[in-house]
Amino acid sequence: MKLSRRGLIVSGLAAGGGLAVAYGLNSLKDGDSHPKFGASSPEDYVLHAYVKISPSGTITVAVPQAELGQGVTTAIPMLVAEDLDADWTDVRYELAPLDKDYGSYVIAEAIPLMFMTPGITADMTRDALYKVTPLIGLIITGGSSSILGNYNYLRTVGAAIRGMLVEAAALRLDVPKSELTTEKSKVIHATSGRSLTYGELAEAATEMTPPSDNPLKDASEYTLLNHPVGRLDTPEKSDGSAIYGIDVKLPGMLHAAIKHSPMFKGTLDTFDADSAMARKGVVGVFPVLDNAVAVVAENTWTAQKALDEMDVTWTPPKGMPFSTSKALPNYAQLFDAADVNVLQEDETFLADWDRATKTVEAVYETPYLAHVCMEPMGCTALYEASETDNPEDARITVWSPSQSISQSASQAGKIAGVKAENVEVHATLMGGGFGRRSDMDFVRQSASIAMSLPGRPVKLTWSREEDVQQDTYRPATTSRFRAGLDNDGNMTALDFVIVGKPVSADFNTRNGTFVYSEAKDDVSMIMPMNDSPYAFPSVRLGLNAQDNPVPNGYWRSVTMSHNAFYQEAFMDEVAEAAGKDPVDFRRELLAHKPDFVAVLDALAEKGDWGTPLAESAEGSRRGRGIAFAEAFQSTVGQIIEVTVAANGELTVDRVVTVVDPHTVVNPSIVEAQIEGSVIDALSAALYSQIDVEDGAVVQSNFDSYRMMTMADVPASIETHIMPQGGHPGGMGEVGIPCVAPALTSAIYNATGHRIRSLPISGSGLVSV
């Protein structure tokens, strides 16, 4: 077997152990990523798959993670620039090309480490997985893993590039490397007073071997990390020059609108193409896969109008149409059914349950939720027919606003039936993702439509109605918690069972990716109870996996978006049954984790827990609630204050968050992510719900799928960041899980009524 230099580096690390940071630290001739990355700026010198430097000193950092608004186009460059000793004014970002060198570390984080306590074991697992993920070549953004997964690797990349520049400077200045220092994109020889810029050294540095002895900075030396550095994408997003998927413009481009079967699993029957073709500007009408039809025209408006006026008939799926009004009420009858799969049961559970002198039980429900990204689904594709007799020699190029350019390539290539090397994908910015854009339906559709019009790029844009009614939804679930208490109010056993359709198997079936093999074994459905920071007694955790035609997808914070509500709402109920204050009760369960207690105590202080609430108008009642969680390897707690007016109208007055991400990259981004999550989670808790009747979604736009408006936003949203050290945790989804339970706890504190079913607007207890 012939090994490349790259393969030798990787295999040697795999055999010898240690952090696999050398992967990709090769010269220009050794990797496909280098010419791909350099193609957009031929004058630049590519020193690494992630770094190129222009003669004038501009430092461009490749960002393979999808920019959904969460700030990775700033945070990823910060990781490189810190240990590179770059002047931040020199730094730019560029969305990375498709290449295995950018293999995503989401595998290393979102799957095994999600269930692993942060520490030495997690770090060793992470480092081992660093060695193999670039070889797999999966580039995906999800699981709040962008910083969590790239922190060590990209800091070491920056340090290695700095070492190459110092090596080049030592040769140029004819001095020992030990006499050189770096600062603000310069290599400095203090003794002689000479210095060279990184731009002046870049060409020579490409010939240097990446050094192996590049210690990373201590936190006390940071000039960028843990500082509120301005976002690199703010200017382009402010002046309109940023290119989102919907902004792609290409010579000769056509525009497509699409209509799906309104019933899940329905198929296309007939369509009146003649009526659409009669409209000026319409180029063609095409079936799309088996469940949709598209009109292609000279502009999106024409395509959409022709589609709206076209007669289309559908073949409904076999069997009884699915309706949430009929199916979901039955979930509460399935907690003890024979098909419950017990995913975890401690040996002493039954004995510990039997010794309880008191039991507490509660049933909770959450509905289907849509993603409603502000930019609806869409994609641009160009199919170029084969010049040979082999259709596999054709080419497909995709401009993809998705959370995975590697999956975009795989799915587009599969639809087009071309060789893998004949698939090209260009990443774009996107107006929100929240997990929706990890599904590849819009990419497959785009490729299918483009094949009908070879040689002309076609941009597909969904309408808002299609976006709402053809989503991949957060599953509707119902759960039951039961706890046993002894005479002292201590829990003896905890029993949890959840009923619903798990996401992972459904996602895998649609997208051909492996996450979990069978729905009934989806352990994510029992998170966080299966690895809770709380010192729970013996537990039994069960799943009754349901099947129905509603497509389920990953929704921001995934199962934590409903399970944290269930757990934290129940913790309050158990605390009350035990006669304990909710904070004191949680503090007891966290006594073995002093860093978690520190977050809880800080939250109680910042949120004025135990302090009487200010008086409100006559007849109004005020309340305060709390919730706490570990999510995506960060620790978070929230306190919410509400007012319930005499007429029952609810106002959310204040949201206080304390978050420990262990190590902070950019506090401004952390604060923005928490605040955005709070708004997202309040919308879901207060208003949002997807109903399915006779196999079709009822809601269609923001008039029927309500989201929080500026007028609804709490007067005070506070975020307090308290990093306590260690590998940074995730942040993009961390602010979601605690909002709903803290809110319902506050309502209970104000009114004395528990809300166990979301959204709150359907409770009948308060008006929103």
pLDDT in tens, 362-390: 999 999 999 999 999 999 999 999 999 99
Q: Which SS3 state, helix, strand or coil, does residue 562 take?
A: helix
- How far is it, in rounded angstroms, from Cα 638 to Cα 736? 10
Question: Does residue 669 carry a pLDDT above 90?
Answer: yes
Look at residue 17 in the predicted model and tell me its pLDDT: 29
CB atoms closer than 10 angstroms to residue 376: 20
Mean pLDDT value across residues 467-495: 97
Q: Last residue of a domain, which of 187, 222, 239? A: 239
Looking at the structure, do residues 334 and 399 belong to the same domain, yes or no? no
- Report the chain's mean pLDDT, rounded to a whole number: 92
The confidence score (pLDDT) of residue 134 equals 61
Element housing 504 (H / E):
helix 503-511
What average pLDDT does range 179-200 have in this prediction?
98
Averaged pLDDT for residues 428-449: 98
Asked if residue 632 and residue 531 are part of one domain, the reply reads yes
Q: Quick one: 74 and 125 in the same domain?
A: yes
Q: Tell whether the model's pLDDT for residue 125 goes beyond 90.
A: no
H helices within 385-436, ranges in order?
405-416
Buried b / exposed e along 286-314 (16+ C-beta atoms within 10 A)? bbbeebbbbbbbeebebbbbbbeebebeb
Residue 47 pLDDT > 90, yes or no?
yes
More confident call, 574 vs 121: 574
> What is the reported pLDDT for 420?
96
Confidence of residue 615 (pLDDT cuts 50, 70, 90): confident
- The answer on pLDDT for 129 being more than 70 is no
pLDDT at 356 exceeding the cut of 70:
yes
Cis peptide before 737 (omega within 30 of 0): no
| Residue 468 belongs to some domain of the structure | no
The token duo for 75 is 């945070």
φ and ψ of 408, to 5 deg:
-60, -45
Measure the CA dihedral 393/399/403/406, to 10°: 20
Q: Residue 117: what pLDDT?
A: 57
Lowest mean per-residue pLDDT among 140-149, 458-467, 693-702:
140-149
Q: Does residue 692 share a domain with residue 628? A: yes
- Confidence category of residue 30, pLDDT binned at 50, 70, 90: low
Q: Which of 202, 218, 239 is the last residue in one of the domains?
A: 239
- What CATH number should be reported for the domain holding residue 499? 3.30.365.10
Establish if 467 belongs to a structural domain.
Answer: no
Residue 617: its pLDDT value, please? 87
Mean pLDDT of 549-570: 97
Q: Residue range 499-527: average pLDDT?
A: 88
**β-strand partners of 45:** 53
Asked if the model's pLDDT at residue 26 lies above 50, the reply is no
Per residue in 230-288, pLDDT (tens digit) is 999 999 999 999 999 999 999 999 999 999 999 999 999 999 999 999 999 999 999 99
Domain assignment of residue 442, yes or no: yes
Report how many domains make up the chain. 3
Q: Is the pLDDT of residue 16 over 60?
A: no
Residue 27: the pLDDT is 32
What the block records as the tokens of 464 is 């808002």
More confident residue, 450 or 148: 450
Of residues 191 and 23, more confidently modeled = 191
Domain assignment present for 501? yes
- Please indicate, yes or no, whether residues 173 and 300 belong to a single structural domain of this protein: no
Domain that holds residue 273: 245-317+377-461
Among residues 441, 461, 481, the one where a domain terminates is 461
Q: Are residues 543 and 679 in the same domain?
A: yes
pLDDT at position 552 is 97
Q: What value does the mean pLDDT take over residues 497-516?
A: 87
Q: Give the whole-angstrom CA distance, residue 421 versus residue 419.
A: 5
The token pair at 399 is 């401009």
Per-residue pLDDT, averaged over 460-480, amounts to 98
Q: What is the number of helices (H) and of strands (E) in the chain?
A: 22, 27
Residue 342 or residue 127, greater confidence = 342
Q: Tell me the percentage of the chain whose pLDDT exceeds 90.
A: 87
- Banded model confidence at residue 12, pLDDT cuts 50, 70, 90: very low
CA distances from 761 to 473, 648, 699, 740, 742 (A): 20, 11, 16, 13, 16
User: 482 and 547: one domain?
Assistant: yes
pLDDT higher than threshold 80 for residue 1: no
Where residue 108 falls among pLDDT bands split at 50, 70, 90? very low
CB atoms within 10 A of CB 54: 17
* Residue 716 φ then ψ, to 5°: -135, 120
At 32 the pLDDT is 86
Band of residue 135 on the pLDDT scale cut at 50, 70, 90: low
Q: Are residues 313 and 333 in the same domain?
A: no
In a domain, 199, yes or no: yes
Residue where the block lists tokens 């630290």: 25
Query: Residue 33 domain-assigned?
Result: yes
**Residue 217 has which token pair?**
């900075």
In this structure, of 83-97, 102-116, 432-446, the range with the lowest mean pLDDT score is 102-116
Q: Is the pLDDT assigned to residue 292 strictly greater than 90?
A: yes
For residues 670-685, average pLDDT: 98
Do 639 and 674 sit in the same domain of this protein? yes
Asked if 350 and 452 sit in the same domain, the reply is: no
Does residue 767 sit within a domain? no
208 and 351 inside one domain? no
Report, as an integer, the average pLDDT of 444-457.
98
Confidence of residue 149 (pLDDT cuts 50, 70, 90): confident
* CA dist list (Å): 482 to 54, 541, 631, 641: 63, 11, 23, 27
Considering the domain architecture, whether residues 339 and 390 belong to the same structural domain is answered as: no
Q: For position 126, what pLDDT does the model report?
A: 59
Structural domain includes residue 278: yes
